[in-house]
Amino acid sequence: EDLAVMRTSLLPSIVRTVAFNLNRKNMEGRLFELAKVYNPKSLPLTELPDEKLRLSFAIFGENEDFFTAKGVVEGILDNFAFGKKVKYVPCDLKAMHPTRSAYVYVNDVLIGYLGQVNPLVCDKLDIDKPVYAGEIYYDTLKDLFNGKIVFKAISKFPVVERDLAISVADDMPCDKI
């Protein structure tokens, strides 16, 4: 029933998934979803909405923080935007914490956001632990990607490692072995 409508953001569903896991005593986790969102060009709808691919993620657990979420985004950017200028700007989304969230720009193009989910949102879902989440605008990031993905085949002849042990008399010199 939740997926009967076209989503404009993946954040609500991934935060509900975190709540589902916490209610079942899964006290830590890292989740992601790659799916399409649909943004209307105008309201009321007179034409089909824009269809965009988004990557959302959520991180929860005792040892997780804003910098863990930032590390996830930087890991993605290492592959898609290596060598490009990355900038983090304070985020003003109501669903995100007012001081622990940021928009992510690559070469001055907005490619997503990350941070702590607003505690008020977590309270409504009975989440009593901090949740860190974000969305990457995959289509936008893909357009900035100018590198080549290189594939190297796995060798037909895998490495063979052997461990040898030789028993010799204590008075045997090394050069004789």
Cα separation of 137 and 109, whole Å? 10
Q: Which residue has the tokens 């941070």?
A: 115
3-state secondary structure (DSSP) of residue 160: coil
* Both structure tokens of 9: 């953001």
Q: How confident is the model at residue 147 (pLDDT cuts 50, 70, 90)?
A: low
Exposed e or buried b for every residue in 52-67, given b needs 16+ CB within 10 A?
eebbbbbbbbeebebe
Residue 106 forms beta bridges with which residues? Answer: 86, 109
* Both structure tokens of 6: 């076209």
Cα–Cα distance list, 132 to 90, 135, 160 (Å): 15, 11, 43
Using alpha carbons, select from 149, 143, 154 the residue that is nearest to residue 53: 143
Cα separation of 66 and 57, whole Å? 13
Task: Say if CB 30 and CB 21 are below 8 A apart.
Answer: no
CA 25 to chain centre: 22
70-123 tens-digit pLDDT: 999 999 888 887 778 899 999 999 999 999 999 999 989 999 999 999 999 999
Provide the 8-state DSSP code for 153. Answer: P
Average pLDDT rounded to a whole number, residues 2-19:
85
40-84 tens-digit pLDDT: 888 887 888 889 999 999 999 999 999 999 999 999 888 887 778
Average pLDDT rounded to a whole number, residues 36-43:
88
Contacts of 11 (CB under 8 A, 6+ apart): 56, 95, 117, 133, 135
